[in-house]
A and B are shown apart, each in its own frame.
Chain A
């Protein structure tokens, strides 16, 4: 991952110059704090560990509290590593949105999708269901159909798509555009939808 951490605020729509309505996601992206600088000498690779999102001090383990104290910052909720960073920062320094993104950039967004619960194959894997609605059909409309052959192979292959828990997975959306940046409020406006609920952490990569 090579980006900054933000929090999804919500969605809105704006109009462009030609009068077209564009659906946008607003993301709050306060300064990300560098909590560890990894180098080839000490760790075998170059990376910056960054943190975002205030955590309660009493809910943070002592080990992590010490880690954050070393960087001279308060406990944080979300930590990620930027491998081979293009910007050089020291321990405890902050990375702002402006330093990383500018309007018009093509970006990727990584988030955890909304949980959908236990879903059937039609919703979960885009199956078409079995058969028709009429002509005597009565109970197979959203059924998965056959899951395999008979005496050979005498088993259902692993990975067969079936009903089950849907959502709550890490999803990456590519080819998104930065529509606007408001550094004074730490907000970034991105064209299109981004996985996750309001208030969930998202990683915006360049």
Chain B
């Protein structure tokens, strides 16, 4: 695996540590670069992280949001060069690494409690 890791390091000029740290349950905004012809615009996608999966080059995260009453999930690879920026809006208090149970919940039940740290 050493050789594979070496290839990653050489070919990935974009480092994975550029984004702020976030976990499953966090509410984040992903600024995604969209190329339309020769114009580039940035679209924000805001939602809850329901899973982080994979490792190294294939590491990805899934963001779920409710759009017009319909649940939408989008998978972003960490290494994707089209991700412009990630902002963590809220830290969530969850007890699981994969929050698939949210799919079967609607309305108030589908909320994630905010993690508050008192000093």
Contact = CB atoms under 8 A, between A and B. Distances in A.
Interface residues of B, number: 18
A12 B57 contact: yes
Interface in A157-190: 180, 182, 185, 187, 189
Interface in A133-162: none
Interface stretch (A13-21, A59-67, A83-91, A105-113): A13-21
B6 A19 contact: no
B4 A180 contact: no
A19 B11 contact: no
Interface stretch (B41-49, B75-83, B98-106, B111-119): B75-83
A128 to B, nearest CB: 33
A10 interface: yes
Interface residues of A, number: 17
Nearest to B3: A9
Contact of B10 (A13, A21, A182): A182
Contacts, number: 43
A10 B1 contact: yes
B12 interface: yes
Interface string B45-84: 0000000000001100000000000000000010111100
Nearest to A27: B3
A181 to B, nearest CB: 11
Contact of B8 (A9, A12, A18, A21): A12
B57 A19 contact: no
A12 B4 contact: yes
A26 B11 contact: no
A11 to B, nearest CB: 8
A182 B58 CA distance: 22
Nearest to A7: B3
A26 B77 CA distance: 21
Nearest to B77: A21
Interface string A40-68: 00000000000000000000000000000
Interface string B2-17: 0110111011100000
A52 to B, nearest CB: 16
A13 B3 contact: no
Contacts of B8: 12
A189 B12 CA distance: 14
A19 B10 CA distance: 17
A187 B3 contact: yes
A12 B7 contact: yes
A21 B81 CA distance: 10
Interface of A: 9-10, 12-15, 18-19, 21, 24, 26, 28, 180, 182, 185, 187, 189
Given A9-B3, A24-B7, 5 more contacts: A10-B1, A15-B80, A19-B81, A21-B80, A180-B10
Nearest 10 pairs of A and B residues by beta carbon = A19-B82, A9-B3, A14-B11, A15-B81, A19-B81, A10-B4, A26-B7, A12-B57, A12-B4, A185-B6
